[in-house]
Chains A and B, each alone.
Chain A
C-alpha cells in the first residue's frame, strides 16, 4: 500500500515539474503569444477573422509622470476598447525622485515595456548602449506597426536614427512634433510666464512691475487682501515642489525661463548653464547675478515676508496642484499650473489667474520643431509584446490618437459639428482640469484623474489637425474662439490691450524664440569622470538651494550661499560649466546658419 502511494506521489511530482517546464518553454517559444488559445479554439470555422486579442498590461516607465499605478478612468477605458491593453505606470518622480528608479531598473536589466525619457540626456544614451531599448528597425516593427509615425513624424524618426542610432537603428521618437514653420509654436500661452490672481491684482489697482523682484510687495498686498483660501487655509504666493529637480532646483530655474533663458541650448542636454533662446549669452547658474541666484534671493525674501509655503520642501507636485485648486496660491510660474484654479464658475465671476508680466520679461518660446523635442517615447528590449506597445505609440502619433489621448473619444468632451470640433456640455464643465464625473459608458471616474497619466506628448497641439482643419488644442478651435469671453478674460483683455498672452508678448517684443536645430550628428557626451562630478555638484546645488530659501536671516543666507558656491566649485562645478559653454558655442554657430 505504502509503495503504491509513494510511486503515485513521485508520478504526480514528475507530472507537475513536466507541466511547469512545458509552460515555460511554450511561453518562450510561441511566436505569437498575443493570440490566446481560447479565442482561436472557440471559433475554428472563421479562419479569416482576426481572433479577439488577449488583454495585456503594458508597464509604462515614465520619467515625466506624476502618477504611479494602474491608469484608470476614461483614458484607460479608451485604450482597453481600442487595443485591449492596460497601463501600469511607474513614475520616477514619485518613486524616489531623481534618477533612483531609472538606476534600479537599469541595474535590474529591464526598463519596462514602454519607456518615456524626460530628455535625450545620458540616461537615454546609456539605455541604448546597454541594450535596454528595442531597435524599431528590427523585424520590420516600424514598417508594420508604425505607419502613422512614418507618415506624420518622418523627420523625428530620421533625427533619432542619425543622432542616437548610429544612422541605422531607431530607438525612440521625440515629443511635440510640429510643422516646419517659423515663429513661436505656442498659440495663446507660453510655458513660462508669471500668472497672478488677476482679480486681486485689479483690486490693488494694477501696480506696475518692472523687475522680477517687484512682484514681492504686490504679492504681499494680495495675500493681505486674500489671507485665506476657499477652505480656510492660509494663502501663499509660492508653493513649490522638489520632485522635479534634476541638476538644479526647477522652481528657481523658472525665473530664467521668464527672461528667455533655459537649461541647455535645445541640442545638448542641460548642465549648469542657462542659455539664451535667441542670443549668444550664457550664464553659469552660480554666477553672482544669474537668474538662478536672483531667483533664490527672491524666494528667501519672500519667505521672510511669509509668502512661501513652508510645506514646499516636503510636498510633491500633486499636493501643490491641490493647493492651487483650493485657492491657496496667488502666483504661478507656468501658464498650465493654474488650470486647476481657473474653473468656468470662477472665471465667470471674474476670478482666476492671468498673465501679469514684468517689464524686464522676455519669455522663452519654442519654435515649431518637425524633429521632435527631447521627451522620447521608446520600447524596452525586454517587452513581451513589442508590436502591441508599438501600436499604442503609433496610434498616439495619429490625429485620432492624439485627440483621444488629450480630450477623450468623440462624443465625450467634444463632438464634430459641420466637420469642426465643438465642446459638449460635459467638456464645457470639465475643461481644463476639473474633477467632473465622467459617464460610465466612457469609463467613469472623474475627468482630471482619468487623464493620460504618461504625461508625454506626441504632436505639438497648436498644430492643425488634418482631420478637421482646426488646431488640436481646444482653446484654439473655431468654436471656442467664437464664444463670448469669460468675465476674467474680458477684464484682462481690456487692461492689456491684447487677446492672448502670446499676442501681448509678441506685440511688445518680449518673446525669445528658440529655433529647432538639427545636425544629423549626435551631441558630444562628457566623460564618465565629469558625469560623476556633475552628479555630486548637482546634489550640493539642490540641497543648498532649498536651504537658502529657508535661511533664518540675511547673515545665514550669505553664509549658506558662500558654502554652496565653494562646495560646488570644490567638487568640479567650473569644469562642467566650461564644458557646457564649449558645446553651446557649436550650437550658436548652427543657429546662425539655420
Chain B
C-alpha cells in the first residue's frame, strides 16, 4: 500500500487548487495596483502636517485639518478655488464637446478611396500624439513668438499688423486655444478606435442599404454612425469620470503671468501652490479634494450609463 500512497501525497503537496492558481496569476497585477495606485495615497499624510521641504515629515508640525479649513476660511482663497474650478470645468467641457470630432474624422477617413492618401493622412494625424507637450510648445513658439515667429513676420509683411504682437501671452479665448491644440495633438490617435469599430460593421448592412438605393451620405448617416455610437458613448462616459483630470503638462508649458488667470486648471494650481508657492501641505489638501470629485463623477457617469444604455460600467 505504502508505495502507492506516497506519490499521491506528493502530488497533492505540489499542486495548487484552481482557485488559488487564478489568484496567483492575478497577484502580480494586484501588487502593481497596490504599489502604483494605493501606496501613493500615503502621500496624503502631508496634508496634515506643516511640511517643509528637506525635513523629515514627522519632524514637522502636525496641524490636523488646518489646510482643509484654510481652503474655505478666506474669501480670497475661495475665489481662487472657484476660478480654478471654472477653468477646469470649462476646458473639460470643451474637451467633451469636441470628443465627437474623432468620430467624424474616422468616418470621413474610412470613406477615402485612395489607399495611399488615406494612409498618409492617418499617419500625419496620429504622429502628433507622440510629441511631448514641451515640443508642441516649441512648435507654437516658432509660429507665434514675437521676434522670430512666422505668423508675426507674415502679418507684418502683409501690412496687417503695424508691429509684432505677443500671441502666446494673450489671455483671450485661452480655453478654445488650448482645446484646439489638444485636438490637433490627439485627433488621429483617438480616431483609431473608431476606425476599428467601423471595420467591424457588417458589410451586408451596406450592401442591403445600397440595394435600397442609399447614397454615400445615407450610408454614413444610417449605418456607420450608429455603428460607432456605442463605442463613442463608452469613451464619453469614461471621460466624464476623468472630467477633473485635464493633466498638467499642456497648461504648464503654455502658462504665463498674463494668461494664468484663465489657464490655471486644478492640476496646474496644485503644482503652482505646492512647488512654486512653497506650500506642499496645502497643495496636497487641494489635490485630495480632486480625488473626491473624481469618485463622485465616476458614480454619476455610471448612473448615466445605466439610464442611457441599460448597463453599468462598474
Using a CB–CB cutoff of 8 Å, the interface residues on chain A facing chain B are: 96, 98-100, 103-104, 106-107, 109, 126-127, 129-130, 132, 233-234, 242, 306, 309-311, 313-314, 528, 531-532, 535-536, 539, 542-543, 545-547, 550, 566-567, 570-571
Q: Are A103 and B257 in contact (CB under 8 A)?
A: no
Instruction: Provide the residues of chain B in CB contact with A132, threshold 8 Å.
Output: 54
CB distance from B96 to the nearest CB of A (A): 29
**Most interface-central of B261, B273, B275 (chain A CB within 10 A):** B275
Stretch at the interface among B29-37, B158-166, B206-214: B158-166
B143 on interface, CB distance cutoff 8 Å? no
Q: Are A234 and B164 in contact (CB under 8 A)?
A: yes
Instruction: Provide the residues of chain A in CB contact with B272, threshold 8 Å.
Output: 539
A126-B54, A132-B54 as given contacts; A310 in contact with B146, CB under 8 Å = yes
Q: Are A528 and B50 in contact (CB under 8 A)?
A: yes
Q: Are A314 and B277 in contact (CB under 8 A)?
A: no
Q: Are A532 and B282 in contact (CB under 8 A)?
A: yes
**Most interface-central of A532, A550, A570 (chain B CB within 10 A):** A532
A242-B257, A313-B169, A536-B277 as given contacts; A103 in contact with B53, CB under 8 Å = yes
B111 on interface, CB distance cutoff 8 Å? no
B258 on interface, CB distance cutoff 8 Å? yes
Pick the contact of B147 from A109, A311, A528, A567 — CB < 8 Å? A311
- Please, which residue of chain B has its CB at the minimum distance from the CB of A536? B277
- Please, which residue of chain A has its CB at the minimum distance from the CB of B166? A310
Q: Are B260 and A100 in contact (CB under 8 A)?
A: no
Instruction: Provide the residues of chain B in CB contact with A310, threshold 8 Å.
Output: 146, 163-166, 169
CA distance A464 to B76 in the complex (A): 54
Using a CB–CB cutoff of 8 Å, the interface residues on chain B facing chain A are: 50, 52-55, 61, 74-77, 145-147, 163-166, 168-169, 256-258, 260-261, 272-273, 275-279, 282
- Please, which residue of chain A has its CB at the minimum distance from the CB of B272? A539
CA distance A99 to B279 in the complex (A): 11
CA distance A433 to B261 in the complex (A): 39
Pick the contact of B169 from A98, A100, A306, A314 — CB < 8 Å? A314
- Please, which residue of chain A has its CB at the minimum distance from the CB of B149? A311
Q: Are B166 and A314 in contact (CB under 8 A)?
A: yes
CA distance A577 to B89 in the complex (A): 36
Instruction: Provide the residues of chain B in CB contact with A571, threshold 8 Å.
Output: 74, 76-77
A129-B55, A567-B76 as given contacts; A311 in contact with B275, CB under 8 Å = no
Further contacts, 15 of them, CB under 8 A, given A313-B258, A535-B277, A539-B277: A107-B53, A130-B55, A310-B165, A311-B146, A313-B166, A314-B168, A528-B50, A528-B52, A531-B278, A535-B278, A536-B277, A543-B257, A550-B169, A566-B76, A571-B76
- Please, which residue of chain A has its CB at the minimum distance from the CB of B170? A550
CB distance from B81 to the nearest CB of A (A): 13
CA distance A395 to B143 in the complex (A): 47
Pick the contact of B76 from A103, A535, A570 — CB < 8 Å? A570
- Please, which residue of chain B has its CB at the minimum distance from the CB of A326? B147
CA distance A551 to B272 in the complex (A): 24
**Most interface-central of A98, A306, A536, A546 (chain B CB within 10 A):** A536
Q: Are A100 and B276 in contact (CB under 8 A)?
A: yes
Instruction: Provide the residues of chain A in CB contact with B55, threshold 8 Å.
Output: 129-130
CA distance A140 to B273 in the complex (A): 42
Q: Are A550 and B279 in contact (CB under 8 A)?
A: no
- Please, which residue of chain A has its CB at the minimum distance from the CB of B70? A532
CA distance A313 to B259 in the complex (A): 11
- Please, which residue of chain B has its CB at the minimum distance from the CB of A319? B147
CA distance A536 to B71 in the complex (A): 13
Q: Are B278 and A306 in contact (CB under 8 A)?
A: no
Instruction: Provide the residues of chain A in CB contact with B277, threshold 8 Å.
Output: 532, 535-536, 539
CA distance A545 to B260 in the complex (A): 13
CB distance from A202 to the nearest CB of B (A): 26
Q: Are B278 and A234 in contact (CB under 8 A)?
A: no
CB distance from A63 to the nearest CB of B (A): 14
CA distance A127 to B50 in the complex (A): 17
Instruction: Provide the residues of chain B in CB contact with A542, threshold 8 Å.
Output: 257
Instruction: Provide the residues of chain A in CB contact with B276, threshold 8 Å.
Output: 96, 98-100, 539
CA distance A311 to B148 in the complex (A): 11
Instruction: Provide the residues of chain B in CB contact with A233, threshold 8 Å.
Output: 147
Q: Are A103 and B275 in contact (CB under 8 A)?
A: yes
Instruction: Provide the residues of chain A in CB contact with B74, threshold 8 Å.
Output: 570-571
CA distance A224 to B309 in the complex (A): 69
Q: Are B166 and A311 in contact (CB under 8 A)?
A: yes
